[in-house]
Amino acid sequence: MPEPLLEGFAYRLATEADTDEIAALMDTAIGELQRGFLSEAQIAVARSIMGLDRQLIADATYFVVHDTGSGRLAACGGWSRRTTLYGGDHSTAQRNAALLRIGEDAARIRAMYTHPDFVRRGLGRYVLAICEGAARDAGFTRVELMATLAGQPLYRACGYQLIEVIISASIDGIDVPGARMGKAI
């Protein structure tokens, strides 16, 4: 697969040394980019499941994208050959480290975040292209993800189809909706 390019940005695999910077970007993105889609109470509940999954970094399937001018972390995201569809290290209910079956199961697109200072520059599509290409190179022919309300328009525009709507998190009667989506790659 040819290397995806986006002028002004460069990507690489994330390392353990990136975790603090990634976690800070995720925290900012969750707090700011979910507004208008979720109430403040729902955003607080979303934080109980969203965030950094170090398994992706350990598996060498997680990417960081930096602005080449400033060096700032602009976006991040990854894919996985494991069963877990969504959730950070701290969310355990939906975690399953079992390996998916290449050729039968859909790889997972995971933990896609863009810093609010860098939205509307094509970074979501850029990270998706990187992840889809890596999953395809690993032998997968389909991908699935769990979309937030804020992310669904991007994923639809990139060819993802709705599989099912779920409640991705619920605490004390406050529900956070999510959409399981997928596509062939």
The structure tokens listed for 139 are 């032998």
- For the stretch 147-177, pLDDT in tens is 999 999 999 999 999 999 999 999 999 999 9
Instruction: Tell me how far apart the alpha carbons of residues 170 and 158 are, in angstroms, rounded to a whole number.
Output: 28
Read off the pTM.
Answer: 0.95
pLDDT beyond 80 at 91: no
Query: Would you place residue 92 in the very low, low, confident or very high pLDDT band (cuts 50, 70, 90)?
Result: low
pLDDT beyond 60 at 1: no
- For the chain, the first-to-last Cα distance in angstroms comes to 12
- For the stretch 35-84, pLDDT in tens is 999 999 999 999 999 999 999 999 999 999 999 999 999 999 999 999 99
DSSP conformation class of 81 = S
Instruction: Tell me how far apart the alpha carbons of residues 26 and 156 are, in angstroms, rounded to a whole number.
Output: 22
CATH topology for 9-140? Aminopeptidase (3.40.630)
| Angle, CA of 146, 152 and 156, to the nearest 5° | 105
